[in-house]
């Protein structure tokens, strides 16, 4: 199969995402995609990037029988981000009554997922560390801006990516400065290509 040059792929995707504001920025990222560093701490690094995800029907799927598994390509995508040392997080709606802190609500979320997890591969909660953001009140539930704003406040000026399956969340996050990607579209990569994400991390802040 003939391979399309990385420059063309990256430039086309950047234009389609609409999260960046100038054609010149797209060209810079496309050039950087040909000589990407291995991680955010590489020599000559000018910026950084953090990738946030929705959880249900973005990374995992609940089947009709109630079992939960990775969506196709999700485990591989997380593994590829991990290989480049690109930080990832979750911005996900859970009941605010699940706890008084993000950590408590995340612990309950992990229990709920574990009860019905049926994939042969474990869900890699450790990838997300303490970057699991959940509503403190019902008013903070997405598509309200609160969770994306909280993630932005802790990003240390890194460029932020958000991936989800619903257009209202993509629209809301993009309006807050995220480079947002709608997953699961026909004829598009299941997730934002990792080379593109890494190229975004090379743009000046």
Token pair of 133, please?
Answer: 């953001």
For each of the domains in the chain, give its residue range(s) and CATH number, in order of start. 46-193 (3.40.50.1000)
Note the helical H segments in 62-193: 74-83, 102-116, 146-153, 167-175
Name the burial class of residue 47, with classes exposed (0-12), middle (13-18) and buried (19+) by CB atoms within 10 angstroms of its CB: middle
The neighbouring-strand residues paired with 52 are 89, 162
What is the rounded CA–CA span in Å between residue 105 and residue 115? 16
> For each of the chain's 205 residues, which pLDDT tens digit applies?
433 343 333 444 444 444 332 222 333 333 333 333 344 433 334 569 999 999 999 999 999 999 999 999 999 999 999 999 999 999 999 999 999 999 999 999 999 999 999 999 999 999 999 999 999 999 999 999 999 999 999 988 899 999 999 999 999 999 999 999 999 999 999 999 999 999 998 887 6
- Total-model pTM: 0.80
């Amino acid at each position: 199969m003939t391979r399309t040059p990385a420059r063309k792929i990256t430039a086309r995707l950047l234009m389609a995402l609409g999260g960046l504001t100038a054609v010149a920025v797209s060209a810079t990222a496309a050039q950087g995609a040909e000589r990407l560093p291995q991680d955010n701490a590489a020599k000559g690094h000018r910026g950084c990037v953090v990738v946030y995800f929705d959880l249900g029907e973005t990374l995992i799927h609940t089947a009709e029988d109630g079992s939960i598994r990775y969506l196709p390509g999700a485990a591989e995508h997380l593994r590829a981000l991990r290989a480049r040392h690109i930080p990832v997080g979750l911005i996900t709606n859970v009941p605010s009554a699940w706890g008084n802190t993000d950590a408590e609500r995340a612990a309950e979320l992990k229990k709920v997922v574990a009860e019905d997890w049926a994939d042969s591969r474990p869900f890699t909660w450790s990838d997300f560390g303490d970057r699991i953001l959940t509503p403190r009140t019902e008013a903070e539930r997405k598509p309200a801006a609160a969770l994306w704003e909280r993630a932005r406040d802790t990003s240390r000026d890194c460029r932020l990516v958000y991936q989800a399956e619903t257009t209202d969340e993509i629209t809301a996050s993009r309006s807050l400065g995220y480079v947002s990607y709608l997953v699961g579209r026909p004829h598009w990569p299941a997730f934002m290509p990792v080379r593109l994400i890494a190229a975004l991390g090379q743009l000046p802040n």
